[in-house]
Chain A
Amino acid sequence: MKTFVQGGVMALALTTGMQVGADEAANLVINGETEITVRTEAPEHLDNLSKIYSGWIFRSDETQALQMDDFDNPGMIFVDQGRDAWAVAEGSEGKACADCHNEPESLADARATYPKWNDEAEEVRTLAMQINGCRTEQMGAEAWKYDGSDMLNMEALLSSVGRGTPINVAIDGPAQSMWEQGRDLYYTRTGQLDLSCANCHEDNYGNYIRADHLSQGQINGFPVYRLKNAKLNGAHSRFKGCVRDTRAETYGVGSEEFIALELYVASRGNGLSVEGPSVRN
């Protein structure tokens, strides 16, 4: 905790420590063929960072290895389950995902652009909201639970077919006001510990918080298979965990605040690759 009561100068000095670890120089190629961008120039809208890094580089050699082969990556079990669900007709229209979209590979570009503005619905939609939009509006089926296993399996499938695609989330136009709301949340301190997202993930990435190696909190790897709970985790659930750990009342999974935060945090990773299902601590 000591780090966080230091001034900004001290925090910056500690941050330079991240150049040491060998893991951080590693490159990620999945199945020996899909190259993943794990470090690149920060997008223009980011004033406080010059480089952005995938969470993968902050993990141990062993954890990194779990993501380099689809038969090592336990998240791929759930991609298989998503692929099964893709072909299942549901709802009053008796349609499956496959009836409109053929193979999941036809949506390989989708994961990289979400959250994004939906003209018809006049709202910013996360990938989960769009999947539920398909279910309720096109299939006449019930919406899946936000960050529930059915939803995460489908998001993992759509991420897996888009791996290697650069994240490219639009922050202007009709999405801009929500993006600004997300940015404000990112820099707002919350909870008894009085921490903002930025205090850990912008000011102190690369440092250790006890035994945890702090990442930049990028979400290009979601859904994430976490060793901690041995299942897929959604970005909103992860946000919730972070906010809770500042000892604050958290926003809900699927709430407007977390949709805005997801849009903003996703845009901080513009240029990194779609990586999900990734493997993290």
Chain B
Amino acid sequence: MAENVKPRVRVPREVAAGETITIKTLISHKMESGQRKDGDGNVIPRSIINRFTCTFNGETVIDVQMEPAISTNPFFEFDAVVPESGAFEFTWYDDDGDVYTETKEIAVS
């Protein structure tokens, strides 16, 4: 699944110190549930992103354990506090061992 996996993340570039921001993330992934069968009746093996994390300067904002009931092209929205200038790091963990990351810098004014 490593090809065509492309995160899409919205983080403002600038905030006031200690301000709360809303973060939205989307990533392209089929999230094959393991419940479906192919045309020959064989089970299509599960292949999902099983964990999503967001950290800021190394400290955790959110850490989500994901199951096959999460829809194709997973979406998350959540709120974070920004105590200082730094970088958000977003990480998606694929069943197949691949890890997709995205970094967004943010400046405190």
A74 touches B73 (CB 8 A): yes
List B contacts of A84 (CB < 8 A): 6
Known contacts: A72-B75, A76-B26, A230-B71. The answer to whether A81 contacts B6 by CB under 8 A is yes
Given that A230-B72, A230-B73 are known contacts, is A74 also in contact with B26, CB under 8 Å in the complex?
Answer: yes
8 Å CB interface, B61-76 against A: 71-73, 75
- How long is the Cα–Cα vector from A71 to B73 in the complex, in angstroms? 12
Known: A72-B75, A230-B71, A230-B72. A77 touches B6 (CB 8 A): yes
| CB of B36 within 8 Å of the partner chain | no
Assess whether B10 is in contact with A77, with CB atoms less than 8 Å apart. no
Q: Residues of A within 8 Å of B, CB-based: how many?
A: 12
Cα A81 to Cα B3 with chains together (Å): 11
| Contact residues of B between 3 and 38, Cβ < 8 Å to A | 4, 6, 8-10, 24, 26-28, 30
Q: Distance (Å) between the CB of B88 and the closest chain A CB?
A: 14
Are B24 and A77 in contact, CB atoms less than 8 angstroms apart?
no
Evaluate contact between B6 and A74: CB separation under 8 angstroms: no
A80 within 8 A of B: yes
The number of inter-chain residue pairs (CB within 8 angstroms) is 31
The tally of residues in B whose CB lies under 8 Å from a CB in A reads: 14
What residues of chain A lie closer than 8 Å to B10, measured between beta carbons?
Answer: 71
CB neighbours of B73 from chain A (8 A): 74, 77, 230
CB-defined contacts of A71 to chain B, threshold 8 Å: 8-10, 24, 26
Measured between beta carbons, the chain A residues less than 8 angstroms from B30 are: 230
Residues of A within 8 A of B24 (CB): 69, 71-72
Instruction: Please name 7 further chain A to chain B contacts, defined as beta carbons within 8 Å, in addition to the given A74-B73, A84-B6, sorted by A numbering.
Output: A71-B26, A72-B75, A74-B75, A77-B6, A77-B8, A77-B28, A81-B4
